[in-house]
């Protein structure tokens, strides 16, 4: 059994390290660098709310709007005890490049509340959400900033947010958030979009590397919405999923996991704990299982300098945000591991969020097959552009993805100029 430790560098510090590698290749002037490394707006506010027992508590809410050069800000809202300004700023920074690399007309944003949703009743969650939304009424909206679900938030929470904003506006504004239930302006295919995008990119790169799906062994760390959907898509595409995991640990079966059975088990038991379809291992050891494709779909910083040498995957598709530290990234690149980075690896969700925003503004909704077809076209078109840049500049996909994204944002900034 192995353990990993992570050096004490902020999440934003990791994000900035990747940015600086790409920015150096582009020889950005100092003024542009300064603009790109400072968020446009950081908002911190108190969220007082009443518990079901009548007692009052106060949580802290955040919203960081990083960049508006390409359009309204876009990014999720997370409810988690570990939410900090540093984390939210890093995620807003990442969203700027994620939207740009897949050519969406959005800037980057992120928000959150420092709370544990698992210890809150539905009524308490609703009261927190409505107060959070009310505090942001002046700075969000379909043409300003469009939130979405993230860790610890759900379509129901988006529905409460939308309703609160609409009540303040005195008109229904479904386009203020994405990730809503379909019944009130959500998009078909949104729930599966991130996991679907992960598998689309994996199959695309497997073709490029000459890995046949029928010969491919896949490990998916994290069996939440993204990981379970990706595993399902891999299995449907003919791959052998040999490892899955959640908070209870990893489960390895070299003859192949029954993904449909594991999904049903997790839904029934709210966890994979006790699952007998594979040998139980730690989450850390699962990452080191020899495979063709590894999908980190859980937490940030799981691939580190301590375990990078022991990672035996040919291809890594990052479904989580920031799963690989810069030091680990350099080790894996030196070993020849191909990495599809998070800013495009998990961009399927924001692409279909964009489609939802478009449909809300049109008042006309697409069939799921149409959503999936458009997702595949937009995601793979932009990934192939990243590959072209990687091959032309002889750099890894991560650097190429940032190069593509930064160039697009800088072009927009220069066309618009600076209002001063």
Token pair listed for 355? 């489609």
**Beta pairing partners, 166:** none
Token pair listed for 371? 């959503």
Strand order in the sheet with 291-296: 279-281, 249-252, 240-246, 217-221, 291-296, 313-317, 338-340
Question: How many Å apart are CA 15 and CA 322, to the nearest integer?
Answer: 8
Q: Cβ neighbours of residue 158 under 8 Å, at least 6 residues apart? A: 147, 148, 149, 177, 178, 179, 180, 181, 186
Strand order in the sheet with 56-67: 41-50, 56-67, 107-114, 73-80, 145-149
CB 36 within 8 A of CB 108: no
Measured CA angle at 321 (ends 306, 224), to 5 deg: 100
Nearest partner of 202 among 6, 1, 380, judged by Cα: 380
Measured CA angle at 365 (ends 78, 191), to 5 deg: 35
Question: How many Å apart are CA 322 and CA 11, to the nearest integer?
Answer: 8
Nearest partner of 396 among 6, 9, 15, 25, judged by Cα: 25
Measured CA angle at 403 (ends 397, 409), to 5 deg: 135
Question: How many Å apart are CA 396 and CA 312, to the nearest integer?
Answer: 18
Catalytic residues: 110
Number of Cβ within 10 Å of residue 222's Cβ equals: 25
């Amino acid at each position: 059994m192995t353990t990993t430790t992570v050096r004490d560098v902020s999440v934003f510090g990791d994000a900035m390290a990747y940015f600086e590698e790409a920015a150096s290749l582009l020889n950005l002037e100092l003024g542009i660098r300064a603009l790109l490394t400072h968020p446009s707006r950081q908002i911190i506010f108190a969220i007082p709310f009443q518990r079901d027992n009548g007692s009052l508590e106060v949580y802290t809410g955040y919203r960081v709007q990083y960049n508006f050069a390409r359009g309204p800000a876009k990014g999720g809202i997370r409810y988690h005890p570990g939410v900090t300004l540093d984390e939210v700023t890093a995620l807003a920074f990442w969203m700027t490049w994620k939207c740009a690399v897949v050519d969406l007309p959005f800037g980057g944003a992120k928000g959150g509340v420092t709370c544990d949703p698992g210890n809150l009743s539905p009524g308490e969650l609703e009261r927190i959400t409505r107060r959070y939304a009310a505090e942001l009424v002046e700075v969000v909206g379909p043409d300003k900033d469009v939130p979405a679900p993230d860790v610890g938030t759900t379509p129901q929470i988006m529905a409460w947010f939308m309703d609160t904003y609409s009540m303040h506006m005195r008109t229904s504004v479904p386009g203020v958030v994405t990730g809503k239930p379909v019944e009130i302006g959500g998009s078909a295919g949104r729930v599966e979009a991130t996991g679907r995008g992960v598998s689309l990119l994996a199959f695309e790169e497997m073709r490029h590397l000459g890995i046949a799906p029928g010969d491919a062994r896949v490990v998916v760390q994290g069996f939440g919405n993204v990981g379970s959907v990706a595993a399902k898509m891999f299995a449907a595409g003919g791959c052998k999923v040999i490892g899955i995991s959640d908070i209870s640990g990893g489960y390895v079966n070299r003859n192949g996991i029954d993904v449909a059975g594991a999904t049903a088990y997790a839904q029934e038991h709210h966890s994979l704990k006790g699952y007998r379809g594979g040998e139980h291992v730690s989450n850390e050891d699962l990452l080191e299982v020899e495979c063709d494709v590894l999908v980190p779909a859980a937490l940030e910083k799981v691939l580190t300098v301590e375990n990078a040498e022991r990672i035996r995957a040919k291809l890594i598709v990052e479904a989580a945000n920031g799963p690989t530290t810069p030091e680990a990234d350099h080790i894996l690149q030196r070993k020849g591991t191909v990495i599809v980075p998070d800013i495009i690896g998990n961009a399927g969700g924001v692409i279909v969020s964009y489609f939802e925003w478009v449909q809300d503004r049109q008042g006309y909704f697409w069939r799921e097959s149409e959503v999936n077809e458009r997702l595949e076209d937009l995601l793979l078109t932009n990934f192939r552009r990243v590959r072209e840049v990687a091959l032309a500049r002889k750099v890894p996909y991560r650097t190429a993805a940032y190069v593509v994204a930064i160039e697009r944002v800088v072009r927009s900034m220069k066309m618009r100029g600076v209002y001063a």
